[in-house]
Structure 1
Amino acid sequence: MTQISLALADDHPLMLAALVELFRNTDEFSVVATGTNADDIFEIGLRSGPDVFIVDLMMQGNVLETIPKLVRCGGKTKILAFSAMSKCDLAIKTLDAGASGYVLKGSSPHELIEAVKAVHRGEIFITRELACKLVEEQRIAPLRRLAGAPIKFTSREDQIISMLTRGSTNRQIASELKIGEKTVKNYMTILMQKLNARNRLEVLIAAQKLANEREQFSRH
């Protein structure tokens, strides 16, 4: 069985030790490196190239600036934020910066393990409690405004939305569709306008919500 390689970054020694112990107690994972600040995240990401990097957000340095730098340069590495902060705005900023998941530190070990597996598969994972808050607080008003207005996507827009739901970065989308990254950004701007969304995460939530509503409508 191929193991998922992990790197872990947290500036609390007890938390870091607990994470190492959790993942070293299963054959599914191998811990290849640990760090305690934002600089470590970038250096370890480039040097070790883990499959998944679990990072605390409140460490020395600017983690939110480090995440997109590593995503651009770190190849296959997926970033999973592991934070005590349950603010929706912070979660949105983190995912918009390029992280593939956001898990609260109050979550169970099982949920954290499932989150690692999900982002490794290319999915976006958000702690259920926080995901509910995001949908309620960030999307209710815009979705109500959109409810009576049919939205049509081009085939290319549908392709991009599908890849976004799999956790693909702009670079990966551009590579698979054989278009430029600038073109992908242009499509993202169009999707944000169509869905009345402010960022990448809101595009996903709005598109998925609309798809579910249309599916339910078609059954009646």
Structure 2
Amino acid sequence: MPISVAFVDDHPILLAGLVSLYSGKDDLLVSAQGENAIDALRIAEENRPDVLVLDLNIPGDILATIEKIVRNCYPTKIIAFTETANIEMAIRVLHLGVCGYVLKGSTARDLHEAIRIVHGGNTFITPGFATKIILSMKASELHRRMRVEKRLSVREEQIVRYLMMGKTNREIAQMLDISEKTVKHYMTVLMQKLDARNRLEVVLAAQKLDNSAELALAEARFN
């Protein structure tokens, strides 16, 4: 039985081209087409295509639309077909339940393959871009684990912030209205928690903890 597929794109020529191209495939049946988020939701609710190929830049609240379709329009599966090579957006829609992410620079064969793979219950992401998404997701998970393992209390974060300003223990004690002995106690805890040997290393470790996700994400973008 052919896979029923619908296309939603606000570029009339591209939409007509997609419909014409994939209507000629023996294993596909183009069941509907639209040009905005309202059309996408209507098609999903009324036609229930096996696969809905959806441009992320169409008019309307695309994220809310995706969420509604995933929640209410089983068994329709969504493929994002877009020019947006944006890692954060890709991860966001994949988390919402999109099963495919195909860049518009891909070949017609790639999109056809994506439709078959997604219909089969698997995920398809444009090769190359998929690597960047995986690296970014790994970086986010690493950062989350680091934050859990080395989570600072509110007081510890306050002390670190003053350390970054170059304040002494006495000055920190005055600003926080605590004793200097208490500040020294927190310094000991911070050095143990952050594997630091002195005040400078505490500051550097805290900065590294805050910047790790951003640096890893930048690396993913350029790999």
TM-score, normalized by length of structure 1? Answer: 0.63
**Percent identical:** 42
Map of 1:69 onto structure 2: 68
Map of 2:9 onto structure 1: 10
Map of 2:105 onto structure 1: 106
The total of aligned residue pairs comes to 146
Over aligned residue pairs, what C-alpha RMSD do you find?
Answer: 1.9
Quote the offset at 1:135 in angstroms: 2.1
1:89 lines up with 2:53 in the alignment: no
Quote the offset at 1:11 in angstroms: 0.1
Cα deviation, 1:20-78, whole Å, max 9, x if unaligned, reads 11211111101110000000011110110100000001011011110110111112100
Quote the offset at 1:141 in angstroms: 6.9
User: Which amino acid in the other structure matches residue 26 of structure 1?
Assistant: K
Q: 1:193-204 residue pairs with structure 2 within 5 A?
A: none
Quote the offset at 1:126 in angstroms: 0.9
User: Which amino acid in the other structure matches residue 30 of structure 2?
Assistant: V
Quote the offset at 1:97 in angstroms: 1.4
Map of 1:155 onto structure 2: none
Post-superposition, which runs of at least 4 consecutive aligned residues in structure 1 deviate over 3 A? 140-146
Greater CA radius of gyration, 1 or 2? 2
Cα deviation, 1:137-157, whole Å, max 9, x if unaligned, reads 3324745997xxxxxxxxxxx
Unmatched runs of 5 consecutive residues or more in structure 2: 146-223
CA distance in structure 2 between the aligned counterparts of 1:145 and 1:84, rounded to whole angstroms:
30
CA distance in structure 2 between the aligned counterparts of 1:139 and 1:107, rounded to whole angstroms:
25
CA distance in structure 1 between the aligned counterparts of 2:37 and 2:88, rounded to whole angstroms:
20
1:54 lines up with 2:53 in the alignment: yes
Q: 1:18-57 residue pairs with structure 2 within 5 A?
A: 18-57=17-56
Map of 2:218 onto structure 1: none
Map of 1:192 onto structure 2: none
Map of 2:215 onto structure 1: none
Quote the offset at 1:119 in angstroms: 0.6
